[in-house]
Amino acid sequence: GLDVPMEAASAVRVQFEKELGRRLWPHLGEAWTELYAEWLWSIAGGARTLGEVRERWASQLRCSEQQAAAVWARIMDATEDERTNVFAYYVLKWILR
């Protein structure tokens, strides 16, 4: 129930496509859903204090940045349309932060 409808994300997707110079097949909504999941994990995944939530979120941010950088390094010069959810899960999600 956390997915963002395609229609709600279309305008933002078009802006991303213009900036990146390629069509983005992955649903921008998928990136939002992954971001929500990370927030929920940080808050409800066993943290007992606000400090633990902050630590979990900081850890997730570091991991996500490393993942996005690795994916982007492989595809940044590509001109083909994006057809994988890997782009949405890692690169777009990191941008949305």
Q: How far apart are CA 88 and CA 31, in angstroms?
A: 5
Torsion from C-alpha of 70, 76, 79, 81, nearest 10 degrees:
40
Q: What is the mean pLDDT of the chain?
A: 83
Other CB atoms within 10 Å distance of the CB of residue 86: 14
Q: How far apart are CA 94 and CA 35, in angstroms?
A: 8
Other CB atoms within 10 Å distance of the CB of residue 93: 22
State residue 59's pLDDT score.
92
**Model-wide pTM > 0.75:** no
* Percent of the chain clearing pLDDT 70 (strictly above): 95
> What mean pLDDT comes out for the span 10-38?
80
